[in-house]
């Protein structure tokens, strides 16, 4: 499953290298434990077991009411007519009353069934959506970096949609088919065991057909689900990057790429429909030939007197009805297999365990003695490598004293961001541990961890909602006064009040109207509101102008007092407020000291500092 840019000369060599075969992420098939999809469906329906049974009973009663209609007609003609001729209107009144009851019963029961079934289905969907969402949120960053947002969206939307179809109509179809087959088989066997037996024999080839259809269509539906996920990935990527798409005239190239993915989906769609067509033709052929054979056989038995003519006539009529549900069964199987393919993908997602796990026996952080600022951080023999790569941090032993503001500098790839992400527990170290006041990060429960450590990144993502709500992510339930205080502290208050609705301005689609610098200020305010013991700032001021940056720095002098701070910055202006500087290179700390001293020395930092001074003009 690849998206490559096409229609370009000499592009052939620049195509992205194909992923190694067998990487489940690239083929959008995560390993799913056997039977997991069925277990998932069962667990979704389990709480509604009683309702499912009740629905089945309603449907049975409804069918009984429907089937009573022809019986009443027969009774009316056989007994009603003679009675009327005798001027006895009793049977006719009974028929009228009976018909009225049946009509009302079949209508009302149908209504009750539809409503009940919808409830069962919607409750299961609510649970399923919630589970996917919760699980996706719980999975670690490394999972998200590989799975892509488009696929997750596809799991939570189109895959849920195909399960919705099953839950919506599946129950009714299934019960309908089963009832009708049972009823007709019973009638046939009762009329004439031989004919009935022969008819039942025909179920054998039909069962084989059903089996082969299920296999074929599951494969087709699997491909379809993967194909639509690829379409969604491309779609979201384009819409989220619409500015560069338009500015670089990517529209036509994108049309071509999208067309490729879209056509794959079209083909898989056609394949599922063809599998269904194949099944319908074959099973109809089996059924219709069976009818012909039984009729001929029956006729001979009538001829030699072993079968009554009336019985043959009746059997033949029932025989035809026996095979009526074939199409409906096909439809049901189609929705079922489509749902099964989606369930499989969802179950695969739900089976992923977060690589950064919640502790089983969480430990609480020691109570901070009053007056002691922040918390102490210890990197104890930490080694870290991204999947299948050389170690980014070969070995790191480091102690950040409580209340210290530490600046981390170094060139791209030196391991600064990795250090920050490990401290924020976006990843767990490959070896070694990170201690917060002596407690390993991995032993802290989520909420406890976030009271301890919060990270502000360079990409300041805004969620749709108001500015105030976006700041309140730092601490849900914060009052407006607290939110404003945080914004004022960081110098964001002025621009926010200048917005059309002040703090209640809707940032709309990912903050389209708020400039990058302003967004960083909002992200800062968010972090301040969270009031963590350890604050990590990962290039969090890159888009600010100089007065903005200066305001932030002034604010930080007060804000960082009372907590431990790790500041990653390529603008050394930030370093001025630090108590200590770490210079990193190749995943190791190569210089460590007080900024002023390092700047005076002849090391790496001194060079950086000089270059920065010069850049200020």
Partner 1 sequence: MTVTREPSSAAPRPGRHSAVRSLLRLWPYVRPVRGRLVVGALSAVVASCLGLLIPLTLKWIVDGPVAGRDPSGVWLGGLALLVLGVAEAGLFGVRRMIVAGPLARVEADMRAALYARLQRLPVSFHDRWPSGQLLSRATTDLMLLRIFLSFPLTFLLVNGVTIVVGCVILLQQRWTLGLVLLAPVVPMVVLCSVFEERYARTARKAQDQIGDLTTVVEESVLGIRVIKGFGRHRGQERAFRALSWRLRETELRKAGLLGTLWALIVILPELAIGAALVLGVVEVGDGELSAGTLVAFLSTALALRWPVESIGFLLAITNESATATDRFFEVMDTAEASAGDAVATAPVLAGARVKDAGLRLEGVWFRYPDAPEDAPPVLCGVDLSVRPGETMALVGATGSGKTTLTALVPRLHEPTAGRIVLDGRDITGLSRERLRELVAVAFEEPTLFSASAAENVLMGAPDAGEERLLAALAVAQAEFVHELPQGRRTRLGEQGLSLSGGQRQRLALARAVIGEPRFLVLDDPLSALDVHTEALVEAALREVLATTTALVVAHRPSTVLLADRVALLSRGRIAAVGTHHELLHTHEEYASLMSGPAGPEGGDPR
Q: Considering only residues 233-262, where is the footprint of partner 1 by CB under 8 A?
A: 233-251, 253-255, 258-259, 262
Interacting positions 540-569 with partner 1 (CB under 8 A):
542-551, 553
CB of 215 to partner 1, least distance (A): 19
CB of 193 to partner 1, least distance (A): 20
Closest CA to 7 of 197, 250, 261, 192: 250
| Per CB under 8 A, 308 contacts partner 1 | no
Positive/negative CA dihedral, 590, 594, 598, 604: positive
| Per CB under 8 A, 364 contacts partner 1 | no
CB of 273 to partner 1, least distance (A): 3
Interacting positions 182-221 with partner 1 (CB under 8 A):
none
CB of 26 to partner 1, least distance (A): 8
| Per CB under 8 A, 64 contacts partner 1 | no
Q: Identify any residues that bridge with 537 across adjacent strands, giving them in sequence order.
A: 456, 567
Interacting positions 413-452 with partner 1 (CB under 8 A):
413, 417, 424, 426, 446-447, 449-450
CB of 116 to partner 1, least distance (A): 9
- For partner 1, which is the closer residue by CB, 103 or 401? 103
| Per CB under 8 A, 474 contacts partner 1 | yes
301: exposed, middle or buried (C-beta count within 10 Å: 0-12, 13-18, 19+)? middle
Among residues 231, 436, 525, 528, which is the contact residue for partner 1, using CB under 8 A?
A: 231
CA trace torsion 245, 248, 249, 252 (10° rounding): -60
Among residues 36, 64, 69, 603, which is the contact residue for partner 1, using CB under 8 A?
A: 69
382 phi, psi to nearest 5 deg:
-85, 130
Region label for 254, one of left (φ > 0), alpha (ψ between -120 and 50) or beta (otherwise): alpha
| Per CB under 8 A, 617 contacts partner 1 | yes
Stretch of 43-51, 115-123, 343-351, 372-380 contacting partner 1, by CB under 8 A: 115-123
- Sheet with 393-400, edge to edge strand ranges: 393-400, 377-384, 431-436, 439-440
Paired sense of beta strands 431-436 and 377-384, if any? antiparallel
- For partner 1, which is the closer residue by CB, 13 or 369? 13
CB of 364 to partner 1, least distance (A): 15
Q: Identify any residues that bridge with 434 across adjacent strands, giving them in sequence order.
A: 379
| Per CB under 8 A, 306 contacts partner 1 | no
| Per CB under 8 A, 106 contacts partner 1 | yes
- For partner 1, which is the closer residue by CB, 32 or 520? 520
544: DSSP letter: -
| Per CB under 8 A, 611 contacts partner 1 | yes
Taking every pair of Cα atoms in the chain, the longest distance, rounded to a whole number of angstroms, is 125
Interacting positions 381-400 with partner 1 (CB under 8 A):
389
Distances (CA, A) of 16 to 256, 258, 399, 448, 518: 17, 17, 42, 42, 36
Closest CA to 496 of 474, 479, 531, 521: 521
Interacting positions 480-499 with partner 1 (CB under 8 A):
494-495, 498
């Amino acid at each position: 499953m690849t998206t490559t840019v096409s229609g370009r000369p000499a592009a052939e060599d620049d195509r992205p290298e194909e992923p190694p075969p067998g990487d489940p992420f690239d083929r959008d098939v995560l390993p799913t434990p056997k039977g997991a999809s069925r277990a998932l469906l069962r667990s979704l329906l389990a709480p509604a077991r009683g309702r499912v049974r009740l629905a089945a009973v309603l449907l049975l009663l409804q069918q009984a009411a429907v089937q009573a209609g022809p019986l009443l007609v027969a009774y009316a003609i056989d007994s009603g007519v003679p009675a009327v001729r005798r001027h006895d209107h009793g049977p006719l009144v009974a028929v009228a009353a009976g018909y009225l009851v049946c009509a009302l019963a079949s209508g009302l029961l149908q209504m009750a069934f539809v409503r009940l079934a919808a409830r069962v289905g919607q409750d299961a969907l609510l649970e399923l959506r919630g589970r996917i969402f919760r699980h996706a949120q719980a999975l670690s960053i490394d999972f998200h970096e590989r799975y892509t947002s488009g696929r997750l969206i596809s799991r939570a939307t189109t895959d849920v949609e195909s399960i919705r179809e099953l839950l919506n109509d599946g129950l009714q179809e299934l019960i309908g088919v089963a009832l009708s087959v049972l009823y007709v088989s019973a009638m046939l066997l009762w009329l004439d065991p031989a004919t009935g037996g022969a008819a039942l024999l025909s179920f054998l080839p039909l069962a084989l057909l059903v089996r082969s259809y299920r296999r074929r269509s599951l494969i087709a539906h699997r491909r379809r689900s993967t194909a639509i996920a690829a379409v969604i990935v491309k779609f979201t990527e384009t819409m989220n990057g619409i500015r560069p798409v338009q500015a670089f005239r990517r529209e036509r190239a994108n049309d071509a790429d999208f067309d490729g993915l879209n056509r794959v989906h079209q083909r898989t769609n056609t394949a599922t429909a063809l599998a269904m067509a194949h099944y319908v033709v074959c099973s109809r052929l089996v059924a219709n030939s069976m009818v012909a054979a039984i009729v001929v056989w029956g006729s001979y038995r009538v001829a030699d007197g072993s079968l009554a003519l009336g019985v043959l006539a009746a059997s033949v009529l029932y025989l035809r009805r026996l095979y009526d549900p074939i199409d409906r069964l096909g439809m049901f199987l189609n929705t079922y297999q489509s749902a099964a393919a989606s369930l499989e993908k969802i179950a695969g997602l739900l089976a992923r365990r977060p690589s950064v796990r919640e502790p089983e026996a969480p430990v609480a952080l020691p109570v901070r003695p009053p007056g002691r600022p922040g918390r102490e951080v210890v990197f104890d023999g930490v080694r870290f490598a991204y999947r299948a790569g050389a170690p980014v941090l070969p070995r790191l032993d480091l102690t950040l004293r409580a209340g210290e503001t530490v600046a981390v500098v170094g060139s791209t790839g030196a391991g600064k961001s990795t250090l920050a992400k490990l401290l924020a527990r976006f990843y767990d170290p490959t070896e070694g541990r990170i201690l917060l006041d002596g407690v390993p990060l991995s032993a802290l429960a989520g909420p406890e961890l976030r009271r301890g450590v919060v990270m502000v990144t360079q990409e300041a993502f805004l969620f749709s909602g108001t500015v105030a709500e976006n700041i309140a992510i730092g601490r849900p339930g914060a009052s407006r006064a607290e939110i404003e205080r945080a914004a004022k502290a960081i110098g964001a208050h002025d621009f926010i009040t200048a917005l059309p609705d002040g703090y209640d301005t809707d940032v709309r689609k990912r903050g389209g109207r708020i400039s990058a610098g302003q967004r960083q200020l909002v992200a800062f305010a968010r972090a301040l509101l969270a009031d963590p013991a350890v604050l990590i700032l990962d290039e969090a001021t890159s888009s600010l102008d100089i007065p903005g940056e200066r305001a932030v720095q002034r604010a930080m002098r007060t804000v960082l007092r009372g907590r431990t701070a790790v500041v990653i910055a390529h603008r050394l202006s930030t370093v001025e407020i630090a108590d200590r500087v770490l210079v990193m290179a190749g995943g190791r700390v190569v210089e460590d000291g007080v900024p002023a001293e390092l700047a005076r020395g002849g090391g790496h930092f001194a060079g950086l500092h000089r270059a920065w001074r010069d850049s200020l003009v």
